[in-house]
Amino acid sequence: MEVGWRGVCRFRFRQKGVKMDRGCRGVTFLWHIENYSFCSHEKGEALLSPDFKPEGLEGTSWYLCLYPRGATDEHKGFISLYLRRWSDNGPEYVSIKFQLSVLAEDGSALSSKEYDHSFRGWNWQGSGDFLKMDESLYLRKLPRDVLTVRCKMWRGEGEVPRLAPICIRTCIVVETISFRHEVDNFSALKPNRKHTIRIPSPLKREYFVTSSLYFTVHSCPAGEMIFEIKPTDSSYILCKRKISLIGSENIILRSVDDNRFDVEKRDIRKLPLSFTRQKIVNKKNEYLPRNELTLHCECSFSTRDVFHQMNVEHEMPIAVPDQDINKNSRKISTYSSALEDIKTLYVNRSLTDVKRKTKTKSFAAHKLVLCARSPVFNRMLTNDMKERTTACIEVDDLGDDVVQQLLLFLYSDTVQSLEWTMATRLYYAADKYEIGRLKAVCSSFLVEHLNPTNAGELLLLADTLSDVDLKGEVEDFILEHEEELFGSEEWEMLLKTNPVLAGETMLLKYKRKKNQVNEIEFKKLKGNLF
């Protein structure tokens, strides 16, 4: 990664020898930007494409420069787009014709402009008011949130050539988290007294965001409810948040804030909800079962100036868009998938018929989903066992947070807020209830995040649950880092708590070395015999 012009982080890709078509002496560059609406760029900040270096343009190198919220104050409310020549070893001046276009999903041009310009190194040409920025652009023209920029470059006279494109994909990194914010004894909550929870990071051993709820009566006697989201990493920009109030009869009040389409990109981390405290208290039988307020929160963050180049393809034929197919595709994409609808059943607690009960909390669920995803649950709920008659599965060895994550995975096939401790507990739960997919997800995460400090812990877990594959990977890691690991406090602790396992692992080094020597001697003997 490099820090480019104006400090914008970008991934560099240099494609040498991209040939221009010999007949028309031109090249087409297609740049697909996924999750485009989550560009967190301020006015004057650029999103830069990878470089491309076409043959036939005398060794010159080029890239596209796009300003999601305008290049200057003059271009406020517009997308600015330029073609820029990179610093290269080509001639001082290169004269070309080029066409810049922004394409809709069906391939039609939302805006297209042609230019004839002589470029020097670092020189650029384009338009500050290339395309007007508005919400309809994203929702109607880009339903899949992919903006496609096309640049055609050619030399010589004649019409714009039809050329097979160079295709590059860049993805704006978006992280979406869902969680519940529950407030016990809500009616006793005092004005301006914050109720705060912390949501762990999926990848780091620290908190990802804090969620705070309080109400104030200064500006609104009915009690304006303020909901505040604070990411611990300043590079995470909150772009969209949806807060839903869940009641006893699945009655939901929603409050949605979205700044992706704002020219000024307002800060939505701390905003009032669309419903007041008084409205909730007035219908406490519906909105406050057991005097407990339950909010389901879904927040989408953009990681500032971090973009991923997805793939590079060459000489792809330009497909003629089928208008009917694209029309139907857009129509289908507006509806939720089966998996999303099933997840909604869990979030809203609709038509639940079984409970999973820990020492401190009860979780409503659906027998059909539990039986379909877990052979163990299927046996509990279909055979002559107490769980079938009581419609209650008691869980004494798992915490509330683990049970909630486990259920969420059964309904959505995804794990949220995954970190080391949660991954080890979910791995144990997945093994206990024979949920193979979740076990594989946790195992992969744990192996990826192995280090000398936690290797002993994972070795013990793999041995306890008789996971031969995981144990083998941990053993390989331990032997690769034996000098650092065998002298550590963590390994000394394992030697005290499980000396047999620690001893067997250390003995592996000599067993493998002996096997290697035997294999070499066998090969030598075999060579002498034949």
What letters, b where the CB count within 10 A reaches 16 and e where it falls short, cover 237-267?
bbbbbebbbbbeeeeebebebebbeeeebee
Say which residue, 424 or 308, is predicted with more confidence.
424
How remote is the C-alpha of 124 from its chain's centroid? 34
The SS3 assignment for 315 reads coil
User: Are 9 and 305 a contacting pair, CB within 8 Å?
Assistant: yes
How remote is the C-alpha of 192 from its chain's centroid? 34
CB atoms within 10 A of CB 172: 25
Strand partners, 154: 26, 97
Question: CB neighbours of 139 closer than 8 A, spacing ≥ 6?
Answer: none
User: Terminus-to-terminus CA distance in the chain, angstroms?
Assistant: 55
**pLDDT tens digit string along 462-480?**
989 988 889 888 888 888 8
Tokens of 143: 């339903």
Say which residue, 325 or 400, is predicted with more confidence.
400
User: Are 220 and 214 a contacting pair, CB within 8 Å?
Assistant: no
**pLDDT tens digit string along 30-66?**
898 888 989 888 889 999 888 888 777 788 888 999 9
Task: Give the integer Cα–Cα distance in Å for 61 and 502.
Answer: 57
Tokens of 205: 């051993």
pLDDT at position 527 is 53
Look at the block and give the residue holding tokens 């860049």.
170
The SS3 assignment for 306 reads strand
Distances 429 to 154, 396, 402, 415, 423 between C-alpha atoms, Å:
61, 12, 8, 13, 10
User: Are 104 and 54 a contacting pair, CB within 8 Å?
Assistant: no
**pLDDT tens digit string along 271-313?**
999 989 999 999 888 889 889 999 999 898 887 655 545 444 4
Tokens of 352: 């639940």
CB atoms within 10 A of CB 162: 11
Distances 393 to 65, 276, 307, 360, 436 between C-alpha atoms, Å:
57, 37, 45, 14, 20
Is residue 70 left, alpha or beta, with left meaning phi > 0 and alpha meaning psi from -120 to 50? left
Reported as a pLDDT band with limits 50, 70 and 90, residue 426 is very high
Task: Give the integer Cα–Cα distance in Å for 483 and 297.
Answer: 46
| Nearest alpha-carbon partner for 299 in 400, 214, 411, 209 | 209
Above 90 in pLDDT, residue 352?
no
CB atoms within 10 A of CB 440: 13
User: Are 20 and 26 a contacting pair, CB within 8 Å?
Assistant: yes
**pLDDT tens digit string along 403-423?**
988 998 998 888 876 889 999
Above 60 in pLDDT, residue 316?
no
Above 70 in pLDDT, residue 6?
no
User: Are 190 and 215 a contacting pair, CB within 8 Å?
Assistant: no
pLDDT at position 193 is 92
pLDDT at position 253 is 84
**Overall average pLDDT of the 240-259 stretch:** 85
Task: Give the integer Cα–Cα distance in Å for 46 and 60.
Answer: 22
Radius of gyration in angstroms for the set of CA atoms belonging to the chain, rounded to a whole number: 29
Question: CB neighbours of 308 closer than 8 A, spacing ≥ 6?
Answer: 11, 170, 171, 173
In 256-366, where does DSSP find H-type helix? 277-282, 284-287, 323-333, 338-348
pLDDT at position 201 is 58
The SS3 assignment for 357 reads strand
Above 90 in pLDDT, residue 511?
no
Above 80 in pLDDT, residue 441?
yes
| Nearest alpha-carbon partner for 151 in 167, 172, 169 | 167
Look at the block and give the residue holding tokens 């991209």.
18
Above 90 in pLDDT, residue 151?
yes
Tokens of 383: 């055979």
Tokens of 38: 């989550």
